[in-house]
C-alpha cells in the first residue's frame, strides 16, 4: 500500500527526514492552500517566493523519479487545507499512512496530530540541536542565556574550534563589531533574479488572489530554487561577509541590505542548510578570505541565535504567542502598514519592508520593535505583523524574536532586559536622523524625537518591574536626577504623542 510523504512549503530540502524514507510507490504530497496562505495576511512576495520555490522543488523531485501529487492554489478540487489535501490524496491513492517532518508551528503540529489518518511526524533534523538536546541544556538553569548555549553548539559542531578552545582564543568578538555604517561605501547588495516562467505565473496568481495584502509584489527578485540560493550564499561570502561583523548593527538611509546576507528566506524554506552555510563561512575564514570577527559573528547568528530561538519556541509551548507580561494593549498604529509618518527611521524600515519583505535585524529590533514596545503596543498584534511582513517569517523563529527578544512579553525568558532605546542609539548607528523632521537632540518640545519622550515614559511606567534589573535598573538614577518639571513635561508630552497615535493621526 502506498504511503503519503508530506512536504510543507518550508521543508524544501532533498534530504529532509520524511523524504529520506520515501520508497518506490510512495506519493509525495505538496499543496498550495489558502489555510497556510492566509493564517496571517502574508506579504505578497512571501507567498510568491514560497509557491514558486515549492513548484520548482516538486519538479526536482519528479526529475529524480519520485511521484508528486501537487495541488496548485487554483485547482478546483483543492480543499485549501493541508489536512484536507492529505485526506484527499489518501483516498485517491488508497494510502492509510502519512510520513511528515515535524512542522515549525504548534498549529500545524496539532492539525497533523488529530487528522483521521495515521501521521508519523519525524524530527526536523535540519536543525543542529534537537528538542531533547535543548531541553537537556535548559534543564535546571535559572537563565537561558544564548551565549552559553552557543558555546555548547560550537563544541558540539567543532565550528571555529581549535580542539577544545575557540578559534582565536575568544568565543565572541563583538567588541570589534557594532560600527556605524559609512555612507561612502560601495555595497553590492544581494544578487537579483529575474522571474522565470514558473515565477512569473506565480506572481500573476498572487496578484490576483491577494490584492489587498500589505507589500509590493513587484519587482520580485528573490531566488526561488537551490541553485539560486547557492549563488546568493557565494555572493555573500565573496562580497559582504568580511565586513559583516563590523557593520552588522548599522543602518543607512536607502540601503536596505548593507552587508547582510539575505539568506534567511532560503535557510528557513530549506533551500540551504544551516550547517552548510556555517561551514562555508568557516572555510572562508580558514582560507584567509575574511576576518575572524566577521566569521564568528555570522556563525553565532545561525549556530547560536537561530537554534536558540527554535529551542525556546518548542520549550515554552503553544501559549507563547499570547504572553503579555507588561500588559500592553495599544493597537499597532497605521504607520506599520505604510501610513504617513514624520519619523524617518520608521518610514525607512517600514518602506523597505513594503518593497522587499525584508528588514535587517537592527531595524526589526531597534526601530519597529523598539517603537512598538515603547508605545505599549499589544504584543500579539506586533507578533502578527512580523509574521505577515517578512519573507523569512515562520512562527518558530519569529515568535521568540518578537514576543521574547523584542517585546519582553515573555517576562525575560529570551532577554535579560528589554531592548529599548532613545533616539540617541538610532542616531549613533544610522544616518536616519539627519533626514528627519524631528530633532534627535531635542528631549522635549514640539520637534523632540518621539523615541526620547517614549523611552523615559516607558521606563517610568514600568519602574516596579525594571528598577531592580541589574542590566537596566541604574538608569532610574538618571531619571531621578532630572528636574521634577522636566520629568513632568516628558510624561505629558509622551501622553500627548500617544493620544495622537491612538487617534490615527500621523505622527
Whose cell is 538610532? That residue is: 426
Whose cell is 532613545? That residue is: 422
**Residue 302 site contact among ligand SF4, ligand FAD, ligand DLZ, none (CB < 5 to 8 Å, cut-off depends on kind):** ligand FAD
Question: What are the distances in angstroms from CA 117 to CA 83, 84, 96, 271?
Answer: 10, 11, 6, 29
d(CA 188, CA 244): 13
Q: Check binding of 270 to ligand DLZ (CB under 6 A).
A: no
Number of Cα atoms under 13 Å in the Cβ half of residue 475: 20
**Residue 252 site contact among ligand SF4, ligand FAD, ligand DLZ, none (CB < 5 to 8 Å, cut-off depends on kind):** none
Beta bridge partners of residue 97, listed in sequence order: 118
Q: Check binding of 312 to ligand FAD (CB under 6 A).
A: no
d(CA 139, CA 395): 23
Which three cell numbers mark 106? 504548534
Query: What's the closest the beta carbon of residue 37 comes to ligand DLZ, in angstroms?
Result: 4
Query: What's the closest the beta carbon of residue 341 comes to ligand FAD, in angstroms?
Result: 19
80 and 51 Cβ atoms separated by less than 8 Å: no
d(CA 161, CA 295): 12
Q: Could you say which of 50, 262, 367, 449 contacts ligand FAD (CB under 6 A)? A: 262
Site mask for ligand DLZ (CB under 6 A), range 41-70, x = bound: -x----x--x--------------------
Q: Check binding of 267 to ligand FAD (CB under 6 A).
A: yes
Q: Check binding of 271 to ligand FAD (CB under 6 A).
A: no
Nearer to ligand DLZ, 225 or 255 (CB): 225
Site mask for ligand FAD (CB under 6 A), range 408-447, x = bound: ----------------------------------------
Q: Check binding of 8 to ligand DLZ (CB under 6 A).
A: yes
**Residue 210 site contact among ligand SF4, ligand FAD, ligand DLZ, none (CB < 5 to 8 Å, cut-off depends on kind):** none
Question: What are the distances in angstroms from CA 260 to CA 229, 238, 246, 257?
Answer: 15, 12, 11, 6
Chain centroid, CA 417 distance in Å: 20
Best CA proximity match to 332, nearest among 380, 366, 376, 377: 377
Q: Check binding of 366 to ligand SF4 (CB under 6 A).
A: no
Query: What's the closest the beta carbon of residue 193 comes to ligand FAD, in angstroms?
Result: 16
d(CA 99, CA 437): 57
Q: Check binding of 362 to ligand SF4 (CB under 6 A).
A: no
Q: Could you say which of 18, 53, 102, 103 contacts ligand DLZ (CB under 6 A)? A: 103
Query: What's the closest the beta carbon of residue 297 comes to ligand FAD, in angstroms?
Result: 9
Q: Does an H or E element contain 412, and which?
A: none
H-type alpha helices, 64-196: 82-93, 106-113, 131-138, 146-157
Q: Check binding of 83 to ligand DLZ (CB under 6 A).
A: no
Nearer to ligand DLZ, 37 or 448 (CB): 37
Query: In this chain, which stretch among 100-108, 179-187, 341-349, 372-380 interacts with ligand DLZ, using CB under 6 A?
Result: 100-108
d(CA 260, CA 263): 8
Q: Check binding of 436 to ligand SF4 (CB under 6 A).
A: yes
185: number of Cβ within 10 Å: 13
Q: What is the dihedral of CA 304, 305, 310, 312, to 10 degrees?
A: 100
Nearer to ligand SF4, 128 or 433 (CB): 433
Query: Can you give the binding site for ligand SF4, defined by CB under 6 A?
Result: 343-345, 423, 426-427, 432-433, 436, 438, 440, 449-451
Amino acid at each position: 500500500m502506498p504511503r503519503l510523504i508530506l512536504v510543507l512549503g518550508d521543508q524544501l530540502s532533498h534530504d529532509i527526514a520524511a523524504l529520506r524514507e520515501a520508497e518506490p510507490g510512495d506519493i509525495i504530497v505538496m499543496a498550495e492552500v489558502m489555510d497556510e496562505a492566509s493564517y496571517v495576511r502574508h506579504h505578497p512576495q512571501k507567498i510568491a517566493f514560497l509557491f514558486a520555490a515549492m513548484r520548482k522543488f516538486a519538479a526536482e523531485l519528479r526529475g529524480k523519479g519520485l511521484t508528486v501529487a501537487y495541488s496548485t492554489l487554483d485547482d478546483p478540487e483543492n480543499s485549501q487545507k493541508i489536512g484536507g489535501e492529505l485526506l484527499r490524496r489518501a483516498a485517491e491513492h488508497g494510502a492509510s499512512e502519512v510520513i511528515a517532518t515535524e512542522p515549525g508551528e504548534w498549529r500545524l503540529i496539532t492539525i497533523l496530530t488529530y487528522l483521521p489518518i495515521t501521521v508519523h511526524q519525524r524530527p526536523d533534523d535540519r536543525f543542529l540541536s534537537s528538542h531533547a538536546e535543548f531541553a537537556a541544556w535548559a534543564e535546571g538553569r535559572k537563565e537561558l542565556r544564548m551565549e552559553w548555549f552557543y558555546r555548547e553548539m560550537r563544541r558540539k559542531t567543532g565550528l571555529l574550534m581549535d580542539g577544545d578552545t575557540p578559534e582565536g582564543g575568544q568565543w565572541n568578538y563583538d567588541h570589534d563589531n557594532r560600527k556605524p555604517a559609512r555612507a561612502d561605501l560601495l555595497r553590492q547588495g544581494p544578487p537579483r533574479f529575474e522571474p522565470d516562467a514558473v515565477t512569473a505565473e506565480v506572481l500573476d496568481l498572487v496578484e490576483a488572489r491577494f490584492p489587498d495584502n500589505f507589500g509590493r509584489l513587484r519587482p520580485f527578485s528573490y531566488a526561488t530554487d537551490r541553485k539560486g540560493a547557492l549563488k546568493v550564499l557565494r555572493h555573500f561570502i565573496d562580497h559582504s561577509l568580511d565586513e559583516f561583523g563590523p557593520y552588522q548593527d548599522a543602518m543607512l538611509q536607502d540601503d536596505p541590505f548593507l552587508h547582510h546576507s539575505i539568506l534567511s528566506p532560503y535557510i528557513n524554506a530549506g533551500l540551504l542548510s544551516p550547517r552548510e552555510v556555517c561551514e562555508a563561512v568557516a572555510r572562508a575564514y580558514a582560507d584567509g578570505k575574511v576576518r575572524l570577527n566577521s566569521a564568528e559573528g555570522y556563525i553565532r547568528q545561525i549556530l547560536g541565535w537561530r537554534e536558540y530561538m527554535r529551542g525556546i519556541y518548542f520549550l515554552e509551548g503553544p501559549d507563547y504567542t499570547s504572553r503579555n507580561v507588561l500588559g500592553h494593549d495599544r493597537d499597532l498604529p497605521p504607520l506599520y502598514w505604510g501610513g504617513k509618518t514624520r519619523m524617518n527611521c520608521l518610514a525607512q524600515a517600514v518602506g523597505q519592508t513594503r518593497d522587499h519583505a525584508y528588514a535587517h535585524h537592527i531595524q526589526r529590533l531597534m526601530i519597529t520593535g523598539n517603537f512598538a514596545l515603547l508605545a505599549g503596543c499589544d504584543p500579539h498584534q506586533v507578533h502578527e505583523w512580523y509574521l505577515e511582513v517578512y519573507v523569512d517569517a515562520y512562527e518558530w523563529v519569529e515568535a521568540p524574536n518578537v514576543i521574547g527578544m523584542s517585546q519582553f512579553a515573555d517576562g525575560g525568558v529570551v532577554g535579560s532586559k528589554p531592548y529599548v532605546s532613545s533616539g540617541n542609539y538610532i542616531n549613533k548607528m544610522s544616518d536616519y536622523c539627519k533626514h528627519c523632521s524631528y530633532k534627535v537632540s531635542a528631549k522635549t518640545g514640539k520637534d523632540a524625537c518621539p523615541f526620547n519622550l517614549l523611552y523615559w515614559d516607558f521606563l517610568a511606567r514600568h519602574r516596579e518591574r525594571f528598577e531592580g534589573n541589574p542590566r537596566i535598573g541604574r538608569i532610574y538614577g538618571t531619571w531621578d536626577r532630572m528636574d521634577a518639571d522636566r520629568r513632568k513635561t516628558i510624561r505629558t508630552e509622551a501622553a500627548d504623542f500617544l493620544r495622537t497615535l491612538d487617534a490615527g493621526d500621523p505622527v
